[in-house]
Structure 1
Amino acid sequence: MSTPAPYRHSGLVCTDHTLDVPLDHRSPDGPAISLFAREVVAAGREHENLPRLLWLQGGPGGRAERPNVAGAWLRRALTDYRVVLLDQRGTGRSTPADRVSLARFGTDSAAAAGYLAHFRADSIVRDAELLRRHLQGDAPWSVLGQSFGGFSTLTYLSLAPEGLTQAYITGGLPTLTGHADEVYRAAYARTLAHNERYFARYPGDQRLADAVAAHLEAHDVRMPAGERLTVRRFQTLGIMFGTSARFDSLHYLLETAFTEGAHGPELSDTFLRGVDAAVSFAERPLYAALHEPIYAQGGRATAWSAHRVREEFPAFDARADTPVRFTGEMVYPWQFEEDPALVPLRGAAELLAARTDWPVLYDPDRLAANEVPVVAAVYHDDMYVDRAQSLATADAVRGLRTWVTDAYAHDGVRADAAVLDRLIAMARHEA
């Protein structure tokens, strides 16, 4: 690990850590990748012996947030902890996994798929354990897992509970045994409900959304990177509905949709640039490649689950005689044909979708005997993580306490410090 060099800004003292870890933890002497983590402590408290809290970001494939100014959850966490912001393997300043770095595999899709198979929660947890031991030896630390970070926390409790003193989970209790088909079947129903909420708030947007879809069907419309914007890719903007920070963003994007061109109405550059920023996977290719594999275990392939299950929900069919409905947190095989950032990963993604020999991510017996205190916020109307599946998992983890709330969307811990404050109080049996 490199020598940490602390620096200060905005009332924070930050120390950067880099650590070489095995690509495959089963082969510790094999190829290594770099892991990056930023440790943050409140200014004036840097010499205090504060316990560490590991932040596990949502995703998969999302880098840890950058603390330009401490946000809601971080402000609250820094009153009790040193916070470790881990760039999970393949993201941020950790060794990246994207179309540029994976180009070294050339046309060898099997090698690329084999490489990417090492970027799930089990590897992330083993990375975290190496980082913990380097920073503080055998002493355990606490973890805060948001969304996919909560999934990883359940894997942590399954593989290395001795590394944890306390686990906080927000919007991230996964099904422990369910197949991806069950996950997406529930997700499509929730996404339709969020469509209804959106169009009830902005009834005029139905006409606009339908007009955009009709225009895309009739014209070859190109986005800034040069690829065609199809109707089905336009529909993926519904992923915005899942968070309070972005729920209204589609409305403000749609209001810029049309401008008067030389031959009649055309889609504006402002609109197309905004769509491109929202639908491109250039900054998070791992999200696309691994979104279904994070549910893979038990000897069954995911086999493009979201794509198959969508056929059970004809409301998402883009037809001239039906109103447009936007999809949500789903990844489709055709995105690896239409998104330039994903095209080079297409062969690897096909192999990952067909794979059946995935290692298990959760140990039901160990979770049933869990001794680590765990508290979790379950968002009643979470579009991304199913409430019923979350509560079934909570019942399967010994001692896990839940707080079910309809006051927040999936990003509640980022929106309001009161979310983490409530969980810390629960852990202390003060709430």
Structure 2
Amino acid sequence: MSTVQFIKALTNDEGSDKASELFRHTFAEDESGVWSAPGRVNLIGEHTDYNAGLCLPIALPHRTFIALKPRTDGIVRVVSDVDPTSFQEVDLNGLEARGVDGWAAYPVGVAWALRSMGFSQVQGFDAAFASCVPLGSGLSSSAAMTCSTALALDDVFALGYGASDAGRVTLIESAMKSENDMAGASTGGLDQNASMRCTAGHALLLDCRPELTPLENTSQQPFDLSAHGLELLVVDTQAPHQLNDGQYAERRACCEEAAKVLKVANLRVTADGIAKSDDPFQSLKETLDALPDEVMKKRVRHVVTEIARVRSFVRAFANGQVEEAGRLFNASHDSLKADYEVTVPELDVAVDVARKNGAYGARMTGGGFGGSIIALVNSGESEKLAQLIADEFARQGFHAPRALAAVASDSARKVR
């Protein structure tokens, strides 16, 4: 059995050099600058963002780097280190939603979104991407691409939004619009907020209620694993990861329909009402009894209990209650498996191996249907545990997984 691959993060210099070299090789000139944005891992709070709920992501040290130079026409030319031999060219003028195919829809979509938001000064650009965020891993390589692009365009076209946390919310909107409307990949905003607003050494407690302002909807929660003698292992199962086949949209629509049945604006209203009741268990039962079918009951039960788990995890970690934090990881995964039905065998096997071999807790992270798991383990145990998961994958005939160590890192920024 082969040794599991550990994915190392590129340093700023390494990532900048790769993007710059690809830019010069492709476009035969120098870029105006290099920017980067991180992938993210969500500690807990899955499928709650589009239900106005709570999420708790951290930014990864693994980032996407973009070397970019603005143009004075509407042409966008982009190239990626995934396939350095070819670049794609698109004209922003007359471009409509879903007008770009493939990966180029993400960066092109950001410029299209900004123009549709009224930023007429945004023109075309040439850009080269280099990334160490594993694709299809559930670690939001797409948000790393759209957010790095948004920050670069904000800079070169002097929009003035990238320098403040509140201003970045406008750039987040353009990144979300790119993914939802141009690329056709539904997103509720967790990924983009994490990539744009996380800080090193902290988890971002994101409150997705629409009535909150950008200054009200986030708080930085200390997340220092080393202080508790811990590591956060991320294992990319390399199972097929696809949200464009309707599964994500189906669950989102089910939650929206449930809110209508319950006569509330969103399921966060329901979750808060249950949390504040004298008997939350009875209140949850009454809520579920009011729903018309078993599938909707399961979806709502996950969302309501997951929102509660985010609050509990923040308290547990702040108080050094490592075993309780791990228990909440486990409960989250079990709910995503049984009630939200977004796990696949690879995710479940990886979680099971982690739990049986010393992890305090383990859960899938991201949208599901493939992607990654996270496991809370003692310091020094990550590589050993990742290898055990890889060995079991080999026995089961799964693709070989990859792994990385997650450290709470910084948000998108200019690096050169």
User: Shorter-chain-normalised TM-score: which range?
Assistant: under 0.3
Q: Which has the higher contact order (CA 8 A, sep 6+)?
A: 2
TM-score by length of 1: 0.27
Structure having the larger proportion of residues in strand: 2
TM-score by length of 2: 0.28
